[in-house]
Chains A and B, each alone.
Chain A
Amino acid sequence: MGLQAYIEERKKDKDLLVMAHVVCGYPSFEDNMQELEIMAEAGVDLVELQFPFSEPSADGPLFVKANEESLKSGTTVDQCFDFMKQASERFPFKILMMGYYNTAFKMGEDVFVQRIKASGGVGYILPDLPVEESSNLHKLSQQAGIEPIILMTPTSSDKRLATLGEASRGMVYVVARKGVTGSKTNMGDDVISLVKRCRQHTNVPMGVGFGISSKADMDFLRGTADLAIVGTAALKTWESSGAKGLKVFFAELMA
């Protein structure tokens, strides 16, 4: 089943799906596995596994630290793909690769696509790869049956959204505000109107991310978005209160 069909299927029982995020190898792959267990139990629908990169210029302080520490402890691309394979065999949620383009460029775009496929991933998010530079990768992805996730943003003009909409497959990642990952977003009418604007240019499901941290945010997004994307808030919880805290976090978030 393709990503879009999967999301539509899951949406029959729930009005708002959840996509969660872990940085591979931070604090460790064992911790990552525990986090995923908790996410699966809570009913998370989709998980992005971030492959650490040395120059994470689109990330905020917590993920910057996570990328850095993971690399310092020796995390490799092979380990990330192995982990993706284990996780995709073990859990019911679908998995996306998330990272920076150099990771894909360095191994070769065809190898990148094949390795995601072979590891059970259904797509990838490369925030520093604009559509202008994606045509070969998108073609390879289509042949392999995995999805490139396009980002739409508050600064995108309607003309730009049309271009992005044309290229979108599986789902779109709507960036709720300017800035890097991590800080709080004030969910307001502008987020609703942004998603509405994005929907005019594509029929794929809409995930909204950046700064989502609470049940209130979820309630706000219900009826507007198809998925809520939760990143930093979960890692922050894991760091401050471990497995117990993370269970409570997802239980409250998804109540």
Chain B
Amino acid sequence: MDIFDFSDGREGYYGEYGGVFLPEILHATIEELLTCFRECKADPTFWQDYVALLQNYSGRPTPITHLENLSRQLGGAQIYVKRDDLNHTGSHKINNVMGQGLLCQRLGKRRVIAETGAGQHGFATATMAAKFGYDCKIYMGAVDIARQRPNVFWMENLGAEVISVEDGQKTLKDAVNACMRDWVTNMADTHYILGTACGPHPFPEMVSWFQSIIGMEAREQILKQAGRLPDRVYACVGGGSNAMGIFQGFFDDDSVELIGCEAGGQGVGSYMHSARLAYDDASVGVAQGYKTYFLQNDQGNMNETHSVAAGLDYIGINPIFSYLWEQGKVRFEAATDTEVKEALKLTMRTEGLIPALESTHAFVTAIKEAPTMAKDEIILINQSGRGDKDIFTIADALDDSKWKSFIAGKADQYRTENK
């Protein structure tokens, strides 16, 4: 199956989803990007350089871990985890960022901008910009800055400027709008490093291409380690880049079921969630440069979204998934905030793994389904990131009194120093 083999006149479309819906002023810029991307994709040395860079800089290939304790405890399928949390900067985001960093060299641009929700994409972009010598500006919603402060700290210390976005809901979608506004002004010297498989063509294809390294590695590794293909593959879905990454490795394997796990937030009917396909609240629309399912009202204005995981707290889903969902190729489920906190505790205690709150959504669904499967069946979960960045949120969720008194003590210390 090659979803990127577009028919005539339908370039950038997956079924009726995708496309390019941008102001005219960006037409030339997006054409330039598309041409450059096509050259990179057609050039085998580009991919070789990309893989070498990730090996030398980010520790790829990331391993696969068999969760023997958890599998035994649940009494069903054997659970394996693809460890993209072991990347430099702690998530899969760096794959896409390093790829676009190389592409940006070919574009000859010297400034990069990016939106970020959880801060992982911003952190990866700031890191790449430091290494490649680009000027870097990161747009991040004020709400997300407050909940992902450790990543803001690293971005700034890596030399990036972090702009707090105060419009709208002050989360990921508003950071995307802020990037668009920067880009329509500074496109001559600036490349917009979009962090997920959303936005106008060629971003969904390009980001998916860079992330496909996850699935390529994972397929080979599971065959070697478990002796056969997995029965089900689970990945969390914000915009959908890590899920596209791992799923692509199994697109041609009809025996493998692919499950995307969205943010159920406060649950069905709460209207405080980010589940576009797993729940019934989204409809097709056009925003932020592309056509897909959005959480919006009947007037076409976007609804408020919510998730305990900032990286999943977003209105739209990548257009490729809207299509693959309609085709029955990918199943979508949602995990609620409460389920995520419980699954995180379980994973930490039984396996010593600390998945990011985003990635934990995939664990929730896998943990629910594993007991219903046979012991010789195989589950593969993509652990897209590690939870270090979530220490404040998790400490609050677990109501950890020792952590709280530590922070209170630190606060007192700073207050005294400032006097």
Contact residues of A with B, CB < 8 Å?
52-60, 64-65, 68, 71, 76-77, 100-103, 105-107, 127-130, 132-133, 150-157, 160, 164, 175, 178-180
Contacts and interface: CB of A to CB of B under 8 A. Distances in A.
B341 to A, nearest CB: 30
B231 to A, nearest CB: 39
Contacts of B22: 128, 130
Q: Is the interface of A mostly helix, strand, loop or mixed?
A: loop
Nearest to B177: A57
Interface string B285-315: 1111101000010111110000000000000
Contacts of B287: 55, 100, 102
Contact of A133 (B21, B29, B185, B298): B21
23 contacts: A54-B296, A55-B173, A59-B181, A71-B301, A76-B299, A77-B300, A101-B286, A102-B286, A105-B286, A106-B283, A127-B23, A128-B23, A128-B286, A130-B22, A153-B27, A155-B27, A155-B28, A164-B24, A175-B24, A178-B25, A178-B186, A178-B187, A180-B181
B72 to A, nearest CB: 48
A153 B177 contact: no
A169 B286 CA distance: 24
Contacts of B19: 133
B298 A106 contact: yes
Contacts of B181: 57-60, 179-180
Interface of B: 19-29, 167-168, 173, 176-177, 180-181, 184-188, 283, 285-289, 291, 296, 298-302
Contacts of A150: 24
A248 B26 CA distance: 36
Contacts of A130: 20-22, 24, 27
Q: Is the interface of B mostly helix, strand, loop or mixed?
A: mixed
A160 B29 CA distance: 13
A160 B285 contact: no
A47 to B, nearest CB: 21
A155 B185 CA distance: 11
Contacts of A103: 299-300
A141 to B, nearest CB: 18
Nearest to A173: B24
Contacts of B177: 55-57
A76 B22 CA distance: 24
In this complex, the member of B21, B22, B187 whose beta carbon has the largest number of chain A beta carbons within 10 angstroms is: B21
Contacts of B289: 128
Given A77-B299, A106-B298, A180-B185, A128 B25 contact: no
Contacts of B299: 76-77, 103, 106
A107 B300 CA distance: 8
In this complex, the member of B19, B20, B27, B296 whose beta carbon has the largest number of chain A beta carbons within 10 angstroms is: B27
Contacts of A60: 181
